[in-house]
Structure 1
Amino acid sequence: MMLTLLISGPKQPGNDIDVYLEPLIDDLKSLWVGIRGVYDAHNGEYFTLRAALMWTINDFPAYGNLSGCVVKGYGERRTRLPPGPWNLSRAEKREICNSFYGMKVPEGYSSNIKNLVSLQDSRLLGLKSHDCHTLMQQLLPVAIRSVLEKPARYAITRLCFFFNAICAKTVDVSKLDKLEEDVVVTLCLLEKYFPPSFFDIMIHLVVHLVREVRLCGPVYFRWMYPFERYMKVLKGYVQNRTRPEGCIAERYIAEEAVEFCTQHLSDVSTVGVPSSQKMGVSKPLSGCTNTEEVLPYIEQHMIHIKTAYPKFRKRTKWLQDKHNSTFIQWLRFKVQSELEEDNHGVSENLRWLAAGPNMAVPLYRSYLIKGIKFNIKAQDDVRTTQNSGVYLLAHTMQVASAKDKNPILSNMGFYGVIQEIWDLDYQKFTIPVFRCDWIDSSGLVVDELGFTLVDLSKIGHRNDQFVLASQVKQIFFIDDPMHRGWSVVLSMPNREYNDVIGDEVLGDVIIECEPFTRGMPNVDTFDELMGELGGQNIRGGCEDIWIE
């Protein structure tokens, strides 16, 4: 016979447990009063039952009452647990939650982070698996930049960098050994700052993730996001809950047939069906094709300038400025002269480019190109998403100062915010261009962890604000909690598919996040930081933990 007795923890009787159990003992003594014995149904006879207490199962506080063990301490100093390097103060918890609450990410990147934050409880609620991956790979290292001591913060950042690296779409096999060594060091660093109870089997499994990548390939081929989302689509097919399999099969066959038929009716206008927002944007001309056709004329124009102005042949900056101001007129005259000479080498696209676009330019608030949606800044200000950040990698001149007459040609990165979206009409095709506010070089900093910080208030390059929509890459900015007025630049993953008319039901196009940096924080840095802290892991200025 097993008797279960539950005693409330904080208000337990303690050493007075005998008084608490006295009524139970009296009831047990009177249990057999007036009974001759215990009846054995198998043999059909009575017998005398003799019982003995074999053992008891107790929790840890009960040992202090039953065995005299020390479980509560001997004073106030023993009941106060000093904060460890992983503990956050109330102010730091509010700061992290406020950082998450103010984040605006591009459309389709993740859930709305603002809806996952409870400012009242300083907690994150309702996270899905994809949201956890997004936070771990990119958003968490930004949110904790101003909290914790540097050693503990850098150790967490190293773990985030590791997940960011193994979830990449392209894996460099030669770097997997180094990555495996780094994650072992990262776990050892975490053991220095986190309690033993933190290291369960899930933390240990991180060591084997690199081996899985080496044997099975990139991670995104094996995670379950597309299948979980497609199960939701199939669940929506069910109209008769008593026959779910039949509903799914019939609906799937019907959609297959309709999709096949619509391929033959793609050029037919629909009746009574409103057009999609994505249908209102005409197909843009590829920026690569445009550059290939105009590139020979750019070289010819540079030679023409050097010949016309021999005194400025060695002044690279002056030649480039002259080229920018006179190339359009020269190209129009050059193409016209070639057409008069019956030169059949001039393509039709080049003819329209030389003639110039229509002076009536339509403006858009949003534009979809290569599966990525871009918005102007005014549109983002009234929405919960951020789609106005752009990044351009250009081969251009690097000028040391205003007096530098011989700048160096190299690749430079430019960060900007879209202010206007123009759609230039060349009669036969259109070319979308963005007018952006580009960040000046004085407002661009890369810190020791590889984060790119920009000051959005420092606007530069006002003479060259336009860029082809096909040449930019989408980024987004998050307010830096460490440096007020600065923002951390994060990249939007590329989507490897063409423009598709219709909504993305599965939403499985986010397959990688751009890495912050090529490497991880050096281990020697941790030793230097611990030396600055005096080798102590006890945090100062943080609330103590009291043990009841």
Structure 2
Amino acid sequence: MHHPSDAAAWKHFTKVYPDFAKESRNVYLGLATDGFNPVGMSGEAHSVWPVIVTPYNLPPGMFMKRKYFFLSVLVPGPRHPKKSIDIYLPPLIEELESLWSGGVEAYDVSKKQNFTMRAALLWTINDFPAYGMMSGWMTHARKHSWFDCHKVFLPREHPYRRNVQAFRKGQTITDDPPPWLTGEKFLRERINNIKGVKKTVDCGGNGHEKPARTINGYGKDHNWVKKSIFWDLPYWENLLLRHNLDFMHVEKNFFDNLINTVLNVPGKTKENAKSRMDLPDLCRRSELHMKADGTLHVPIFWLSKEEKKNFCDATSPFAFKELLPKSVHIAISEIALFFRDISAKILKHEDVAILKENIAVKLCNLEKIFPPSFFDIMEHLAVHLADEAALGGPVQYIWMYPFERYIYHLKKKIKNKAHIGGSIVAQYVNEEISTASANFFGNPHVVPEVPLPGEVRFTYQYPDVPNLFYHEGQDVRGVYNPYMSSNDLQILKDKHFAEWVKNYVVQASNTYDFLMGMLDFVQGPQCKYKSWPIYHSCGYFFHTHSHGQDKKTQHYGIQVRGTTDTDYYGLSEEIIMIEYFGYVGLKAMVFKCKWFDTTEGRGIRKHKSGIIDVSPRWQYEKFDPFILSGNCDQVCFIPYPWVRHTSANDWWACTKFMPRGVRETSEDALVALQDDTDYQVVAQSMMLRIETYVVEDDSDYESTPVVPPNDKYVSEDELDEACTDRDSVSDSSS
């Protein structure tokens, strides 16, 4: 799946409405909204909610860009709209209904004809609090523990379902996972049959404030607080995916909880005295129970102070390999790899099926280690991400990252804080007018492309020059021209092959016609070259190792894909531009690299998860240092922490990243951090056997005394007041 049109929800829609799908110029839309505080965190409470609409029937390299985001509604504040945001949406819904039923007359410039263009809204994209505001299903409620709620997603014969020791004691799971309900069942069998569930426009802006008093069965049988205004769209009940879980916030909050608990951050950790007091009633974990003197055992997932220092110098999940017990490291690294795999820019249907099967096992592995208080709603939502990827396609088209950046762009437009909404709209209209005027009106003048400072672009007047001599890049630092003698250059060449090619072409040119570029090429390069310490090419910033080794960021790691199953990893030592004699004036950009040994087990090792480790102590035996700059990818080498009497330079974990702005193709599909294999990206998840023992306290933690619980019931009205503006501010800042 390269695009949402390759996923199940889009295909289902085109199948249900073939007349709409028949016209390829009809528009498929997505809608996103989120709140932000325009006066900053230190100012007064003020909540502004932009509603953004964007088209989806564009190539993957074009849409999700700022120029295709349209500000359709602006809820000006200052109060948080909460569940009554539908009050502001009727104009948008009426326009969407008009675009669906009758359409609008538009002009096709390619065919030079008028046509009727229609549009349909496929889904909304929101963080979890806004998810409840848009869908009508309450997501702001008292915090619940989702511990032992994931075994229902396992296969019926899975041994975890019968495990009564590691999970909730004495309880086996035989239930099936919750059924997948269609929109028609939601609307006709659930929402329409619940007494008290009304539209916001019918009951008013304050009509949803006390749902427990006005809605039958609220909080017990269901969490519906309203009938969303989106049900007014005639096609809404036939959509498979109406509201998206935002991958960005789920991933962020999941790993915030994970890191805060492992590092035992005061006030943020999910492991405390209150959670220990609940354990004897829930599960058999004597190693986590209270001591007789009221203090706490140190759990196996806590780090000591020295280990915390080592962790700060490394990167998860690589740091945990040496700092935590093997079972804890495997559980954490597997969930990290799940988020890595599902965020690939190209998803395979078979891989998504494996991810769906694996995530329940991975969450159960975490349940065997962490206390029940760790598993809040964000940890639970991960179990549904694979289903949404199968329905909506690659997650980068249905997450909040681009919309959060656009909201920040809108925030910068505020020039008059006395009239915040008007200031944003006025600046937005000016921007749209200037963009439309420059692109669509008058006689646009094509400005000749001006070379950027330091731009390197090889062009030739002579035709049929091979592709390896065409290159576009940009040097970032000044150029210097060291002199290389003929003898030194000759030593760096493959003497026999180069001499043979030269003699062959010169002798054969008397009989055959060769390209002029070939005649120049076989004569060899000039005895001087140009070199840079920093070079920008193919979306990467490449540094030489000598220039970048002392910097905080790393840009000198190189990877080249081999013709076999072996890939080559190394460090860039020099960035060189070689020039050739002759009429054509050939030029080539090459990197001189130091390669690591490719012998598996000595110079390289491969984990089951797909992560590659390289040993910097072993070098590649053959002398082959040069590669073309366009034939390599950039990688980052992360040393493991120096603990347990091992050196940090024994092994480096190798991670690869895709530069922003570069779109993948089916021939070169990469996952977010690591190369995929030829057959399967996602590794099968394993069950964990957790040793039951008490970890000796070798750190200088202070014993935590028992604090009597101070739990008191918080009414929903009080909770709503506490979660108004503060939630929107924290979500937008994340």
Q: Rate the CA distance shift 1:545–1:428 in 2: closer, same or farther, 3 A.
A: farther
| CA displacement at 1:476 relative to structure 2 | 0.9
The alignment partner of 1:142 has SS state of coil
In structure 2, the partner of 1:166 is: 342
| Contact kept? 2:605, 2:612, Cα under 8 Å | yes
Matched, 1:376 2:544: yes
| CA displacement at 1:369 relative to structure 2 | 1.7
Matched, 1:421 2:575: yes
| CA displacement at 1:96 relative to structure 2 | 1.2
Corresponding letter in the other structure for 1:536: Y
| CA displacement at 1:229 relative to structure 2 | 1.9
More RCO (CA 8 Å, sep 6+)? 1
Matched, 1:436 2:651: no
Superposed CA offset, 1:188-207 (max 9, x none) = 11111111111112111111
Q: CA separation in 2, counterparts of 1:383 and 1:430?
A: 31
1:95 to 310, 318, 333: 310
In structure 1, the partner of 2:446 is: 264
Q: CA separation in 1, counterparts of 2:506 and 2:676?
A: 49
Matches within 5 A, 1:91-130: 91-99=306-314
Q: Rate the CA distance shift 1:203–1:140 in 2: closer, same or farther, 3 A.
A: same
RMSD, matched Cα = 3.6
Q: CA separation in 2, counterparts of 1:437 and 1:97?
A: 28
Corresponding letter in the other structure for 2:298: P
Corresponding letter in the other structure for 1:83: V
Q: CA separation in 2, counterparts of 1:93 and 1:418?
A: 32
Q: CA separation in 2, counterparts of 1:176 and 1:386?
A: 32
Q: Rate the CA distance shift 1:541–1:267 in 2: closer, same or farther, 3 A.
A: closer
| CA displacement at 1:468 relative to structure 2 | 1.0
Please state which structure has a larger fraction of its residues in helix. 1
Q: CA separation in 1, counterparts of 2:541 and 2:387?
A: 37
1:82 to 297, 300, 318: 297
Superposed CA offset, 1:289-343 (max 9, x none) = 3499xxxxxxxxxxxxxxxxxxxxxxxxxxxxxx943222222233333433352
In structure 2, the partner of 1:247 is: 427
Q: CA separation in 1, counterparts of 2:445 and 2:520?
A: 32
Corresponding letter in the other structure for 2:705: W
The alignment partner of 2:317 has SS state of helix
| CA displacement at 1:515 relative to structure 2 | 5.7
In structure 2, the partner of 1:4 is: none
| CA displacement at 1:90 relative to structure 2 | 2.4
In structure 1, the partner of 2:500 is: 330
Superposed CA offset, 1:45-94 (max 9, x none) = xxxxxxxxxxxxxxx99xxxxxxxxxxxxx97241111223222222222
In structure 2, the partner of 1:298 is: none
Gaps of 5+ in 1: 1-59, 62-74, 100-138, 270-274, 293-322, 396-409, 499-509
Corresponding letter in the other structure for 1:357: P
In structure 1, the partner of 2:560 is: 392
1:289 to 467, 473, 483: 467
Q: CA separation in 1, counterparts of 2:450 and 2:609?
A: 54
Q: Which has the larger Rg? A: 1
Superposed CA offset, 1:209-240 (max 9, x none) = 11101111111111122222233344445556
| CA displacement at 1:448 relative to structure 2 | 5.5
In structure 2, the partner of 1:412 is: 566
Q: CA separation in 2, counterparts of 1:206 and 1:194?
A: 16
Q: Rate the CA distance shift 1:339–1:287 in 2: closer, same or farther, 3 A.
A: closer
2:515 to 347, 353, 362: 347
TM-score, normalised on structure 2?
Answer: 0.45
In structure 1, the partner of 2:620 is: 460
| Contact kept? 1:284, 1:432, Cα under 8 Å | no
| CA displacement at 1:523 relative to structure 2 | 2.9
Moved more, 192-201 or 282-291: 282-291
Q: CA separation in 2, counterparts of 1:147 and 1:341?
A: 69
Q: CA separation in 2, counterparts of 1:338 and 1:163?
A: 58
| CA displacement at 1:473 relative to structure 2 | 1.1
| CA displacement at 1:171 relative to structure 2 | 1.1
Q: CA separation in 2, counterparts of 1:496 and 1:354?
A: 37
TM-score, normalised on structure 1?
Answer: 0.59
Corresponding letter in the other structure for 2:686: V
The alignment partner of 1:155 has SS state of helix
Q: Rate the CA distance shift 1:230–1:511 in 2: closer, same or farther, 3 A.
A: farther
The alignment partner of 1:361 has SS state of strand
| Contact kept? 1:84, 1:539, Cα under 8 Å | no
Q: Rate the CA distance shift 1:477–1:232 in 2: closer, same or farther, 3 A.
A: same
Corresponding letter in the other structure for 1:330: W
Q: CA separation in 2, counterparts of 1:210 and 1:466?
A: 42
The alignment partner of 2:337 has SS state of helix
| Contact kept? 1:159, 1:186, Cα under 8 Å | yes
Q: Rate the CA distance shift 1:257–1:457 in 2: closer, same or farther, 3 A.
A: farther
In structure 2, the partner of 1:276 is: 453
Q: CA separation in 1, counterparts of 2:607 and 2:704?
A: 34
The alignment partner of 1:81 has SS state of coil
Matched, 1:221 2:397: yes
Matches within 5 A, 1:38-187: 77-99=292-314, 139-187=315-363
Matches within 5 A, 1:310-321: none
Superposed CA offset, 1:391-413 (max 9, x none) = 11233xxxxxxxxxxxxxx4421
Corresponding letter in the other structure for 2:624: D
Q: Rate the CA distance shift 1:144–1:228 in 2: closer, same or farther, 3 A.
A: same
In structure 2, the partner of 1:523 is: 686
Moved more, 79-88 or 180-189: 79-88
| Contact kept? 1:474, 1:491, Cα under 8 Å | yes
| CA displacement at 1:493 relative to structure 2 | 1.5
Matched, 1:211 2:387: yes
| Contact kept? 1:287, 1:468, Cα under 8 Å | no
Matched, 1:359 2:359: no
Matched, 1:546 2:705: yes
Question: Identity over aligned residues, as a percent?
Answer: 25
Q: CA separation in 2, counterparts of 1:220 and 1:521?
A: 24
In structure 1, the partner of 2:640 is: 480
Q: CA separation in 1, counterparts of 2:614 and 2:605?
A: 6
| Contact kept? 2:341, 2:671, Cα under 8 Å | no
| Contact kept? 1:164, 1:513, Cα under 8 Å | yes
Q: Rate the CA distance shift 1:339–1:516 in 2: closer, same or farther, 3 A.
A: closer
The alignment partner of 2:446 has SS state of helix
Q: CA separation in 1, counterparts of 2:322 and 2:686?
A: 20
